[in-house]
Amino acid sequence: MASNKKIVLVTGSNKGIGYGIIEMLLEKKTNLRIILTSRNEDLGKKSFNKLLNKYPYSKDYFYYHQLDITNKESISNLISWIRSQFGKIDYLVNNAGLGTHGVTTDINLHVSVLEVNVFGTINFTEEMIKNNMLNKKGKIILVGSMMGNLNRLNSYKLKNDFKNAKTTQDLLNLGEAFKNSCLKGTVEKDGWCSNSYCVSKMIVNSYPRILSYRKEIENNDISVYSAHPGWVKTDMTGPEAPLTIREGAENEVFLIELPDGINKEYQGKYFDRFKVASFG
């Protein structure tokens, strides 16, 4: 499908911040082809059609495809579809995620959050990289969070383990360690914070730095970032949040619109309100 429009794919974009990112791009009439994805196909198509009706001029460059980042077959189907339709994409926005609505003793929920936010996000991204699905000078953007501040940890060793992590496996090992602490009921004793969402976002915030070390990222001039959307009114966060979905999408859209190619000042960094920031 020949076009000079670059392609952006947003995971988990049938609602919340992902939906806001796509709507902002459609509203701006930006020079992109845009792919909305969702785990639930019916809900995804409903959101897709809602946006298509609101922005009918986008019909030639707006697409939908089902994607469950925790399901190998779903990932494989998406990759096959991208190959057949476009060849590759340019910008991958990893937005799909689960929350806990605060501290919970529900071990199953802790595990589910980790399976989506950590293992699903990383595995999907790694499959896209392994299958060479990003064009040169592409971007990988992770929707992180200030909730993933390392100062929430109660162990200097764990903080150092995050700061010294050099490989994707190092991050996966941290995720597995937290999962094991949840299953054993030793989360606080082991120095973790009690909110699995926070721990998952510590890993997500760290992942771009890890990716920036990779030769296939550097050789293909691919930019990698994480972004804090802020405390946004969504189904996950509740109505008390001060920011609108649109305001939460602005930081991610800012990163999509940054000049292509690796900027050494920005590469692998965490962004809060359009600026490089620290997450501990």
Q: What is the mean pLDDT of residues 69-81?
A: 98
Domain spanning 6-102+120-151+204-277 has what CATH number?
A: 3.40.50.720
Q: Is the pLDDT of residue 193 over 80?
A: yes
pLDDT tens, residue by residue, 22-63: 999 999 988 999 999 999 999 999 999 999 999 999 999 999
Band the pLDDT of 100: cuts 50, 70, 90: confident
Contact 237, 193 (CB under 8 A): no
CA dist., res. 257 & res. 87, Å (int): 22
Query: What confidence score (pLDDT) does residue 275 get?
Result: 97
Contact 279, 150 (CB under 8 A): yes
Listed range (149-153, 203-207, 243-247) with the worst mean pLDDT: 243-247
- Residue 167 CB: number of other CB atoms within 10 A? 11
Helix, strand, coil content of the chain in percent (nearest 5): 50, 15, 35
Torsion (CA) 72, 74, 76, 82 in degrees, nearest 10: -150
Q: What is the pTM of this model?
A: 0.94
Band the pLDDT of 138: cuts 50, 70, 90: very high
pLDDT tens, residue by residue, 240-267: 766 788 888 999 999 999 999 999 999 9
Helix, strand, or coil (residue 220): coil
Query: What confidence score (pLDDT) does residue 23 get?
Result: 97
Query: What confidence score (pLDDT) does residue 73 get?
Result: 98
